Amino acid sequence: MSDASSLRLYQRQGNYLPRVAAVHDLCGYGKCSLGIAIPVLSCAGIDVCPVPTSLFSGHTKFDHFYKLDTTPMLEPYLDAWRAHGIALDGVYSGFLGSAEQVATIERLYREYPRALRVVDPVMGDGGHKYPTYTDEMCEATRALVASADVLTPNLTEASILTGIAYEGQDVDEAYVARVLDALLAMGAKNVVLKGIVHEGDNLIRNYVASEGAPVAEVAGDLLPFMTHGTGDLFASGLTAAIFAGKSLLEAVRFAGTLVRDAMAITPDQPDCEVRGVSFESVLGDVTALI
């Protein structure tokens, strides 16, 4: 099997715009989910087809937010797609509104068996689940691992998926290998494990693993703060690069740099603590992919 440096999961063909279903929530205020995925993928020349899993007034870092669960509309929504004969080249999923929505993603997999499957299992961070995620939702999300062409968990999400105890962000290579092996054993074809940070080290590390191939490490500058939406920006940048024809390793490097550069300008923006990562000024870097 090819290693991550040469593995290309999608071959771009001339002027054709690949069509990708983006299965995420939509927030009115706060930069995340579809608010990031649509512009980032569009700038890479991707025809984005949103499948909204929830509507939020603002993201879940706010003390108060309104949420509308869209689960009841998703079956007729996809029925209409089928009636129109819509074709897809990819399915990129993220934050879900209910455990039942895993079945919606699995329906997309059945109806579009050739579509590339990017699974960002957005369930938590820092050792804790997000407030809208129940144990039932986390258990349902595990079912997506076996179908993933690319799986992009952080350490918290990897712990939830595998049952391996969360040990913080500063973990050694043996722990990383154990988690990656467990996720590959669950059926994921390629895994990008995000956000390993060693104390006293000014780097953030992501690890890329494929069955039968050596694990690759991608390190980038660690900025001295965190902000909301960086995980969505990373996964969207990764997906954009993959569908631009980049290798998996190139895509991981691109996504990490995109997040770093967007984070660097975020503190200069008003309300940045709640608004989230300021990705707009780096969209030109995404456009340059093609």
Read off the pLDDT band of 180 (50, 70, 90).
Answer: very high
Non-local (6+) Cβ contacts of 52 within 8 A are: 24, 25, 26, 34, 70
Whether the predicted pLDDT of 196 surpasses 50? yes
Instruction: Kindly state the average pLDDT of the residues 244-271.
Output: 96
Tens-digit pLDDT profile for residues 127-145: 999 988 999 999 999 999 9
Domains of the chain: 19-287 (3.40.1190.20)
Whether the predicted pLDDT of 233 surpasses 90? yes
Instruction: Kindly state the average pLDDT of the residues 140-164.
Output: 98
Between CA 136 and CA 152 the distance in angstroms is 20
Between CA 59 and CA 31 the distance in angstroms is 8
Instruction: Kindly state the average pLDDT of the residues 224-247.
Output: 95
Whether the predicted pLDDT of 228 surpasses 90? no
Q: Which pLDDT value is given to residue 99?
A: 97
Whether the predicted pLDDT of 232 surpasses 50? yes
CA dist list (Å): 265 to 32, 105, 252, 262, 280: 16, 35, 21, 6, 10
Q: Which ranges in the chain belong to alpha helices (H)?
A: 34-43, 71-84, 101-111, 135-142, 155-162, 173-185, 230-243, 248-265, 272-275, 283-287
Whether the predicted pLDDT of 193 surpasses 70? yes
Whether the predicted pLDDT of 61 surpasses 80? no
Whether the predicted pLDDT of 12 surpasses 60? yes
Read off the pLDDT band of 261 (50, 70, 90).
Answer: very high
Read off the pLDDT band of 1 (50, 70, 90).
Answer: very low
Between CA 109 and CA 122 the distance in angstroms is 19
Q: Calculate the average pLDDT of the chain.
A: 95
Between CA 192 and CA 174 the distance in angstroms is 16
Read off the pLDDT band of 2 (50, 70, 90).
Answer: low
Percent of the chain with pLDDT over 70: 99
